[in-house]
């Protein structure tokens, strides 16, 4: 049976107290709506329609590559009205699944169950029992215990409000029935809205029937209305991901102090210490160790490499057996070959560092290419920027750069060349040569410092 999906995302989200539309607030670094679209796509639907209204332009441009049909709901006249906007795009055959753009953790297995039920011609309704059901639509059952209707909180009697079984909003039903029922919705209710939930009574009153399916847990159907709820769902999502990683063989020193905002591919026996943030696409080889408080963004780290605490790596490629940090900053385009070392308070950018080369302390190396077994002394700076252009520094295999050297690019240091400490290198250093480019030391004996006329 073919599947169409409708995601409702036109609502305002006033309680976020934000200029950003609610569905664009990030969970694990991705907009809420992005999570819902991802889940929807796993079902391989024939069509994926997203109803937008509040902040529609912003929502569309935040997810430019989403393979969805954007459907504008000019005025937010209710959930039923929202689905009515999609009706002209829906074929008469098949099944439609309705999701909310602000309910990000719904499980693929749950959605598949709903769709399977609806494929048999029934309306499948995802429900949940809540300790505090206030605000939700209550499930009303008939004398035989069959679902008969949904009454919205604002329309419910005191007796109905005591019902704790509620509508999650997520449902699936045959397209033919949507085409039949949606045009008949009215808005004579407490909120003057076209309620999608009125179709429950219609289904119950015909042979179609309603099959309620209880959600696996409260989190998977929890919506985001304010930032507190968003924070709670963020932790729930992170706990899910941490558990998956632990069971896949990654050591997380504390699963509650690990954040994944993207995808992590990993080898065997990877160890991650506390407060590590992984963003974008990150790959860690076998036996990689990440120290506390590191941020890894779109970075690849080879087998056996160690990143020591408090390091920030962005778009970097760290070879096997390398050592990085503590307190290192690897900016985009840093490529370290096998066994290279970058130590504390070192910043690199667009830099290729050959195998077993070392930049161990207090340096800036940018727009540079270093050969193998190069030793860069403490405080070395590549002066790559003249205020307008960036220039390159090239250092040959086996070169030794003395501490506190300024390499004024464009400049080349040859193979096995040596640069004396404190040099300002402005022209090429030949292979095997020693370059010393600093003021020569002069000693003036018996030097008298100026004296103050009074006191010391």
Positions marked active-site: 361
Residue 369's binding partner among ligand UD1, Ca ion, none (Cβ under 5 to 8 angstroms by kind) is: none
- The nearest distance, CB 157 to ligand UD1, in angstroms, is 16
CB contact at 8 A, 119 and 1: yes
In whole angstroms, how far apart are CA 399 and each of 251, 402, 409, 435?
39, 10, 17, 11
For ligand UD1, the closer of residues 118 and 336 by Cβ is 118
Interface with ligand UD1 (CB under 6 A), residue from 21, 25, 31, 100? 100
Annotate each residue in 158-177 with x if it binds ligand UD1 (CB under 6 A) or - if it does not, as one string: --------xxxx--------
Q: In angstroms, rounded to a whole number, what is the distance separating the alpha carbons of residues 285 and 89?
A: 47
Query: Does residue 152 belong to the site contacting ligand UD1 (CB under 6 A)?
Result: yes
Q: Distances in Å between the alpha carbon of 117 and those of 80, 129, 154?
A: 21, 20, 30
Query: Is residue 406 a contact point for ligand UD1 (CB under 6 A)?
Result: no
Residue closer to Ca ion (CB basis): 135 or 205: 135
Report the partner that residue 136 touches, choosing among Ca ion, ligand UD1, none (CB closer than 5 to 8 A by kind).
ligand UD1
Mutual angle of helices 32-41 and 108-119, in 10-degree steps: 50
CA–CA distance, 226 with 294 (Å, rounded to integer): 29
Name the minimum Å distance from CB 135 to Ca ion: 7
Closest distance between ligand UD1 and the C-beta of residue 99, in Å? 9
Instruction: Check residue 101 for interaction with ligand UD1 (CB under 6 A).
Output: yes
The residues, any chain, with a CB within 8 Å of residue 186's CB and separated by 6 or more, are 194, 198
Tell me: does residue 325 bind ligand UD1 (CB under 6 A): no
126 binds ligand UD1 (CB under 6 A): no
Cα–Cα distance measured from residue 350 to residue 334, given in angstroms and rounded to the nearest whole number: 5
- Under rule CB under 6 A, residue 181 binds ligand UD1: no
Taking 3-state DSSP, the helix, strand and coil percentages for the chain, each rounded to the nearest 5, stand at 20, 35, 45
Could you give the dihedral angle defined by the CA atoms of residues 14, 15, 19 and 23, in that order, rounded to the nearest 10 degrees? -90
Minimum gap (Å) between residue 129 Cβ and ligand UD1: 12
Contact between 11 and ligand UD1 per CB under 6 A: yes
Closer to ligand UD1 at the Cβ: 111 or 150?
A: 150
**How many residues lie near ligand UD1 (CB under 6 A)?**
27
Please report how close the Cβ of residue 162 comes to ligand UD1 at its closest, in angstroms: 15
Write down the H helix ranges in 208-285: 218-221, 227-247
- Smallest distance from ligand UD1 to CB 55, Å: 11
Distance separating alpha carbons of residues 245 and 266, to the nearest angstrom: 9
What tokens does 290 get?
A: 């990440």
Q: Which of residues 29-88 bind ligand UD1 (CB under 6 A)?
A: 51, 73, 76-79, 81-82
Q: Which is nearer to ligand UD1, 152 or 273 (CB)?
A: 152
Contacts 24+ apart (CB under 8 A), 182-185: 182/80, 182/83, 182/84, 182/87, 183/84, 183/87, 185/80, 185/81, 185/84
Residues between 217 and 276 with contacts to Ca ion, criterion CB under 5 A: 223
Which residue of the chain is nearest ligand UD1 when measured via CB?
137
Interface positions with ligand UD1 (CB under 6 A): 8-11, 51, 73, 76-79, 81-82, 100-102, 136-137, 150, 152, 166-169, 195-197, 223
Interface positions with Ca ion (CB under 5 A): 223
């Amino acid at each position: 049976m073919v599947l169409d999906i409708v995601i409702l995302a036109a609502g305002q989200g006033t309680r976020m107290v934000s200029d950003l539309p609610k569905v664009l607030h990030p969970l694990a670094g991705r907009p809420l709506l992005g999570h819902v679209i991802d889940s929807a796509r796993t079902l391989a639907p024939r069509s994926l329609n997203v109803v937008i209204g509040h902040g529609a332009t912003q929502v569309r441009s935040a997810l430019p590559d989403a393979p969805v049909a954007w459907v504008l709901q000019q005025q937010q006249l209710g959930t039923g009205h929202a689905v009515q906007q999609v009706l002209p795009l829906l074929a008469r055959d098949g099944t439609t699944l309705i999701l909310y753009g602000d309910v990000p953790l719904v499980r693929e297995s749950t959605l598949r169950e709903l769709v399977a039920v609806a494929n048999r011609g029934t309306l499948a309704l995802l429900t949940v029992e809540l300790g505090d059901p206030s605000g939700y639509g209550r499930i009303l059952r008939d004398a035989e215990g069959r679902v008969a209707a949904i009454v919205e909180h604002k329309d419910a009697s005191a007796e109905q409000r005591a019902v704790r079984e509620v509508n999650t909003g997520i449902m699936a039903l045959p397209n033919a029935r949507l085409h039949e029922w949606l045009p008949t919705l009215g808005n004579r209710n407490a909120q003057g809205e076209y309620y999608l939930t009125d179709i429950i009574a219609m289904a119950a009153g015909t042979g179609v029937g309603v099959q309620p399916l209880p959600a696996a847990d409260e989190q998977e159907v929890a919506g985001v209305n304010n930032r507190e709820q968003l924070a709670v769902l963020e932790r729930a999502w992170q706990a899910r991901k941490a558990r998956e990683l632990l069971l896949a063989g990654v050591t997380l020193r504390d699963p509650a102090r690990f954040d994944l905002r993207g995808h992590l591919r990993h080898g065997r026996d990877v160890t991650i210490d506390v407060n590590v943030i992984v963003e974008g696409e990150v790959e860690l080889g076998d036996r990689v160790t990440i120290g506390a408080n590191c941020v890894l963004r779109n970075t690849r780290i080879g087998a056996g490499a160690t990143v020591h605490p408090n390091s920030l790596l962005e778009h970097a490629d760290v070879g096997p057996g390398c050592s990085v940090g503590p307190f290192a900053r690897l900016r985009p385009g840093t490529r370290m070959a096998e066994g290279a070392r970058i130590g504390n308070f070192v910043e690199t950018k667009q830099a290729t560092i050959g195998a077993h080369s070392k930049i161990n302390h207090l340096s800036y190396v940018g727009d540079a290419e270093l050969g193998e077994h190069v030793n860069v002394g403490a405080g070395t700076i590549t002066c790559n920027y003249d205020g307008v252009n960036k220039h390159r520094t090239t250092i040959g295999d086996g070169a030794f750069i003395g501490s506190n050297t300024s390499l004024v690019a464009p400049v080349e240091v040859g193979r096995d060349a040596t640069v004396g400490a404190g040099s300002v290198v402005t022209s090429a250093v030949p292979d095997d040569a020693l370059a010393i480019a600093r003021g020569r030391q002069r000693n003036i004996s018996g030097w008298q410092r100026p004296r103050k006329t009074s006191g010391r």
